[in-house]
Amino acid sequence: MMMKLKIYLVVLSMAFLILSVLLYFQQNGNKVHNFLSDSLTISNEAFHSHPIKQISENGKNLPATTAKLVAVGDILIHGIVYKDAKKNNSYDFKPMLAQIKPYIEQADLAFANQETIIGGAQLGLSTYPTFNSPFEVGDALKDAGFDIVSMANNHVLDRGVKAIENATRYLNDIGIAYTGAYTSHDDKENIRILKANGILFSFLAYTYGTNGIPIPKDKPYVVNLINLENMKEDISEAKQMCDVVVVSVHFGNEYERLPNDNQKQLVKELAEAGAHIIIGHHPHVLQPAEWIETEDGRKVFVIYSLGNFLSGQNGHYTKIGGILQLDIEKTVGVNGVDIQIHNPAFLPTIVTKTSESKYSVVPLHQVYNSNSEVYQELFRHMTHFMDDLYFIKNIQ
Ligand SMILES: [Zn+2]
């Protein structure tokens, strides 16, 4: 009788133990999801224990969800730009973005290429050829509604590892995620995932080089270089953890308005490897957008170069940039998650003088009306490889 009671007690305590473990994991799962929505990024480790392979079990598709993503090119802060933003002992770049802010903040997710490192004024500000920008650039991006910046570009090491550490600390403090440059191995391993309307986006970023400044041997993680094998591995890892893989690539020839063969080849490889959206920059001028059809029938969206967004460059095509806008639709069906990209749209912008600032980013149609040759030529240019890119004239 005693023996039976003992067995009964052992079974009971085992059941209690299993129940506690299950409850713990359930609570932890909730934490992961809260963390996702609150602070944008999550660690790989936390996520691997809770895979998100969603499958509809009732044999029907679940209602689709959609998120709007916007992306802009180079935030390239020359000396003349930060001098224009100087206010007593600090800097204010917000007026420079005031006119395009409504187009950024209406999106669910907003991406920019932070070309010049935001190392802060204490480190000593500097302009071309080795840039260092004030922290207040980050404040203006945050205020305009940007969620994530790429730092994988040829200027990332301009002012050394210290500037990267300053920039990442500041961006963390103000709640902007960064990708492509890192402060440790763990930081690099932590794939950036942002959630919008129930859709998980990962952001990977790479650059062709660092202007000849060597990457410190003991800190190989500081910046992601273009390397097809590494990129494919990252994409396949990201795909396990999210619904949509966005790859930012700093590549191409400066001031060339069409992509070169290397860009086209790399983009094809990245599309085949599983990228959904590829965002290019570096040429300082706009290069067209294109749909890439993969061998398994997916349509991948690429824009080869987003040009400059905010800069002190004053050539006609280097003053013109724009805001790319995409609607990403997720449907969960019996075979898992399906991602479709809809309504590719573009708001061309130009850096010009306004009452607010000498360097303001404004919609192009405010300077050149939509019937002008400048506007029409840009439309023909951006639709060179595709005919369904819509030019935005007003906020929808
Ligand atoms: Zn560049």
pLDDT digits (tens, 9 = 90+) for 15-40: 666 666 555 544 443 333 333 433 44
| Reported pTM | 0.87
Q: Could you give the CA distance from residue 301 to residue 320 in angstroms, rounded to a whole number?
A: 21
Distance from the alpha carbon of residue 296 to the mean position of ligand 1, in angstroms: 33
Residue reference for tokens 């080089």: 209
Distance CA 149, CA 318 (A): 20
| Percent of the chain with pLDDT strictly greater than 70 | 86
Pairing of strands 177-179, 148-150: parallel
Distance 90 CA to ligand 1 centre (A): 26
The Cα 239–Cα 243 span in angstroms is: 7
Output the CATH code of domain 46-391: 3.60.21.10
Separation between Cα atoms, residue 234 and residue 350, nearest integer Å: 34
Q: Is 311 exposed, middle or buried (0-12, 13-18, 19+ CB in 10 A)?
A: buried
Tell me the pLDDT tens digit for each residue of 279-314. Answer: 999 999 999 999 999 999 999 999 999 999 999 999
Write the pLDDT tens digit of every residue in 239-272.
999 999 999 999 999 999 999 999 999 999 999 9
- Amino acid type, 45: E
* Domain ranges for the chain: 2-39, 46-391
Chain centroid, CA 367 distance in Å: 28
Round the CA-based radius of gyration of the chain to a whole number and report it. Answer: 23
CA of 201 to the centre of ligand 1 (A): 24
Pairing assessment for the beta strands 336-352 and 65-75 based on DSSP bridges:
unpaired
CA of 254 to the centre of ligand 1 (A): 8
Question: In this predicted structure, what is the pLDDT of residue 11?
Answer: 67
Q: What is the pLDDT averaged over residues 361-373?
A: 96
CA 123 to CA 161: how far, in whole Å?
Answer: 12
- 305 sits in which H/E element: strand 299-306
pLDDT score at 121 = 95
State the distance from the centre of ligand 1 to the C-alpha of 257, rounded, in angstroms: 15
Q: Is 269 helix (H, G, I), strand (E, B) or coil?
A: helix
CA–centroid distance, 35 to ligand 1, in Å, is 33
Q: 3-state class of 323 per DSSP?
A: strand
